[in-house]
Amino acid sequence: MNISLKNQRILVTGASRGIGRAIAKQLSESGAEVIIHYNSNKEEAEKLKNELQNPSFIESCNLSESSLVKGFIPRLIQKYGPISALVNNAGISPSSPDSLSTDDWLEIWEQTFAVNTTAVGILCKEFVDHAKTQQNGRIINISSRAAFRGDTTDYMAYAASKGAIVSLTRSIARHYGKQGIKAFLIAPGFTRTDMANAILEEYGEDFALKDIALNELTTPEDIAPMVTLLCSGLADHATGTSIDMNAGSYVR
């Protein structure tokens, strides 16, 4: 079955690399017009834009600054027109060992929550405001396996920040469905991205491979088709669901 996203305009955050990049490419190949969000890597964002099949746009926003995130979606709508779906993919995972002082630990905690949770909340809120006027809209939040099974002590802030997105997604799905708004969550495990490479270097690839049921680690291209399906409307009755894509490393 061919999935068509023709006439859809979709915002993907953190799209200049990794999972976001693969998602943007898959959405474009399926007919969508993609707004490529990036933080600072304009060169990679422009490179991706030039690779996409359909017309697309690049837009920067520092998600760690809530004052900059506020109004970002309304500005995009004013500039490009209605947005049919929001893919909250951008995230950070800085290490914060428990050996740090509380002040240093708290700084990393607040930085992690600013990007992974507060920015996602603002974007969801402003997208819902817009989607209610359209009586249609889909949100796909990229969380993590860590939201459900926890993480090591170095990454408790990351796990907690991703766990909050689970409740956010379910709340949106349950209370805005009759206004045409659907919300889904995807929870990847170890995925071959630049962000995961630091973790793989720290713990070793053999450690990661022993932790999964399959023979190979998940790639961004393994995740992108699921996002396309959720954006298509073919899975709307799964609204509120959390989809594990972790190569069988955590099965609920």
Catalytic residue from among 38, 155, 158, 176: 158
Q: Indicate if 158 belongs to the active site.
A: yes
41 CB-near residues (< 8 Å, 6+ apart) = 16, 17
Indicate the SS3 state at residue 183: strand
CB 219 within 8 A of CB 191: yes
Give, as one character, the DSSP assignment of residue 138: E
Q: Map tokens 């995925």 to a residue.
A: 191
Distance separating alpha carbons of residues 247 and 188, to the nearest angstrom: 9
CB 161 within 8 A of CB 117: yes
Angle between helices 18-29 and 220-232 (to 10 degrees): 50
Paired tokens of 227: 């996002």
Q: Which residues are catalytic?
A: 158
